[in-house]
Copies of this chain bind each other. A is one copy, B any other.
Amino acid sequence: MTEADGAQLVTAALLVIGDEVLSGRTKDQNIGHVAARLTEVGIDLKEVRIVPDEEDAIVAAVNALRARYTYVFTTGGIGPTHDDITADSVAKAFGVSIDVDERARAMLLERIPEVELNEARLRMARIPAGASLVANELSKAPGFRIENVIVMAGVPRIMQVMLEAALPELRKGRPMLSKTVLAMALEGDIAEPLAAIARRFPEAVIGSYPFRDENGKSNTNLVVRARDPMVLEAAHGAVVEMVTAHAGRKAGSGA
């Protein structure tokens, strides 16, 4: 990696907040989306953590991650109920105060009649001091950004609109590109030539993912990733050549 590439690296962590994911009651639906979307725009997701709805755990994770990555995204815990403690925990992590924010309250009133804006719903307008709001065109209750931490809802379709609202403001790097080659081989049969290709192309990242096809037959996806399209093409070409040669040998041996 050249120094110029290094300077362009933009990294992120995702912090998923929610007892329901850790208990197995709810399957997380946000990690895959955030991972794919950040990769597309050139932000490298380097770590994901899932923690319970507990203040100490949230504060510790936010502070560990915001020191280490360009951006931290959080999902979950910003609704109106007693177990929604993300905003208060993030304020605590930054050592700032938190109160009902008039901008956020105005957003809630676009959707909720004032008579229904009870104390619980007003919790959704509690925003740490100094944060900017992240718009939520679906249900209005906003997310927010404080320094490099972007706080989003846990409900997937709301999280997705918040992510889109937040992305334009963020720095991006050179996106990691990828190409997949279906190996038509067991990974153990091609591991050695594959490792040789990985050594030849240190700027590429080459992954091997075994799976069973719909007929129960074992096969392997080889994924080549690189930021430089030339490196991607060259490493991908080498993998295709290796896989083709392997298939030829297998056919020759009658196997």
Contacts and interface: CB of A to CB of B under 8 A. Distances in A.
Given A48-B50, A116-B188, A209 B28 contact: no
Interface string A64-92: 00000000000000011111100000000
Interface string A31-45: 111111111000011
A191 interface: yes
A20 interface: yes
A184 interface: no
A97 interface: no
A214 B198 CA distance: 47
Interface in A5-28: 16, 19-28
A180 B20 CA distance: 12
B178 A23 contact: yes
B21 A192 contact: no
B52 A50 contact: no
Interface residues of A, number: 66
Interface in A151-199: 155, 176, 178, 180, 187-189, 191-192, 194-195, 198
B19 A27 contact: no
Interface in A108-122: 112, 116, 118-121
A39 B20 contact: no
A35 B38 CA distance: 26
Given A19-B207, A24-B39, A120 B48 contact: no
A189 B120 CA distance: 8
A46 interface: yes
A132 interface: no
Nearest to A33: B24
A148 interface: no
A105 B208 CA distance: 22
Contact of A81 (B36, B83, B195): B195
B31 A46 contact: no
Contacts of A194: 81-82
Contact of A187 (B27, B44, B79, B209): B79
Given A21-B35, A23-B35, A49-B50, 16 more contacts: A19-B207, A21-B48, A22-B44, A24-B32, A24-B34, A24-B35, A47-B51, A48-B49, A48-B50, A79-B208, A80-B188, A81-B208, A82-B195, A120-B192, A123-B191, A155-B211
